[in-house]
Amino acid sequence: QVQLVESGGGLVQAGGSLRLSCAASGRTFSMYAMGWFRQAPGKEREFVAAISWSGTITSYADSVKGRFTFSRDNAKNLVYLQMNSLKPEDTAVYYCAAVRTFDSGRTYYTTADAYNNWGQGTQVTVSS
C-alpha cells in the first residue's frame, strides 16, 4: 500500500491558477498508476485526469482538457495537477488516487473503482 497526501488547494478567482500536489510514501512510487478525481457539492465524484505509472500516458476529462495538466516525478514520489483558467464549476474537493500496476507503463484508469489508495482530499474553491 501507499499513503497519499494532497496539498495546494485554496481559494482562487476565476481565470486564475492553482497547482495541486500529491505526495506518496510508504512504498516505491514507480508502478502506481495515478488519478485525480473531484467531488462538487450535490454531484457524484467525477474523473479529472489519469496518468500511467511511467508518466508517458495521460488522459483528461473533457471538462478540463486544455486547462489542466497531470504530471509526475517518480524520483520525488510526487504527482501534480496544474490547473489553469479556473472556472467556478471547478469548485470541488480534489482527491488523488493510486493503484499498483504491473503493466509496461502505458495503462491508465478513469473510474474511481479502479483505485484502492486515496488521499484525504483538498478543497479548491473558484470565485467569480
At 98-120, the pLDDT tens digits run 999 988 899 999 999 999 999 99
- The predicted pLDDT at position 48 comes to 98
At 15-71, the pLDDT tens digits run 999 999 999 987 666 789 999 999 999 999 999 999 999 999 999 999 999 999 999
- The predicted pLDDT at position 1 comes to 79
Q: Are 1 and 113 in contact (CB under 8 A)?
A: no
- The predicted pLDDT at position 92 comes to 98
Residues 6+ apart with CB under 8 A from 33: 50, 51, 52, 53, 98, 99, 101, 107, 108, 109
User: Is residue 88 over pLDDT 90?
Assistant: yes
At 72-86, the pLDDT tens digits run 998 888 999 999 999
User: Is residue 9 over pLDDT 80?
Assistant: yes
- The predicted pLDDT at position 75 comes to 86
**DSSP secondary-structure letter at 19?**
E
> How far is Cα 77 from Cα 4, in angstroms, rounded to an integer?
10
